[in-house]
Amino acid sequence: MSLSRKCIMMRRLYFLFPSIAEAQAAVSTLSTANIPKRFMHALAREGLSLGDLPRASLNQQHDLRARLARFFWNGDLLIFAIALVGLIIALIMGAWIWATVTLVLIVVTYSIGAFYAMNIPEHSLAEFRAELSHGEILIMVDVPKKRLHEIETLIHHKHSTADCEGSSWTLDLMGI
């Protein structure tokens, strides 16, 4: 099964490796599992050579994905708060139509926030800074949700030194 550009929302698996050689072996394993190199992103501390590992883009190195997640989460909270204030004002003024509109907006923003919080995994590169500073190599692998368990199991069985550190969401379209 091969990945295509049609995969917009994907899951990003995070694997830590103690050495470049072990990270390169894992990239080879992933390639044989039909994961194109454009869906693999290696990151290490500054000054540590990654050899021929597929390097993370600048957006990935600076964790644009996590910053976007924070922006949208905070935006959702802001809209919720504004709608709540609007609801209170509409109720005080007796503007029942505006009260209904703001109440619907509150329910929508609450539902979006609850869905995100309960269903979408979230990790950031900040969680890996200590390991990277000690010379470990982080390989981020973007896969469709349906292949998440398969790829995690594959790396776990073939590369015992790899630490699977969880998953997050990503958008292939934006290269983040």
How far is residue 133's CA from residue 28's CA, in Å, rounded to a whole number?
Answer: 25
Return the pLDDT at 6.
Answer: 54
CATH number of 9-61+125-174: 3.30.70.120
Return the pLDDT at 64.
Answer: 86
Domain ranges of the chain: 9-61+125-174, 65-119
Return the pLDDT at 113.
Answer: 86
Return the pLDDT at 154.
Answer: 95
Crossing angle of helices 148-158/20-32, nearest 10°? 130
Long-range contacts of 22-29 (CB under 8 A, 24+ apart): 22/137, 22/159, 22/161, 22/162, 23/53, 23/137, 23/139, 24/51, 24/52, 24/53, 25/159, 26/139, 26/155, 26/158, 26/159, 26/162, 27/53, 27/54, 27/139, 29/154, 29/155, 29/158, 29/159
pLDDT tens, N- to C-terminus, the chain (176 residues): 444 455 577 889 999 999 999 999 999 999 999 999 999 999 999 888 888 999 998 888 888 888 888 898 899 899 999 999 999 999 999 999 999 999 999 999 999 888 888 877 778 888 898 999 999 999 999 999 899 999 999 999 999 899 888 888 887 776 67
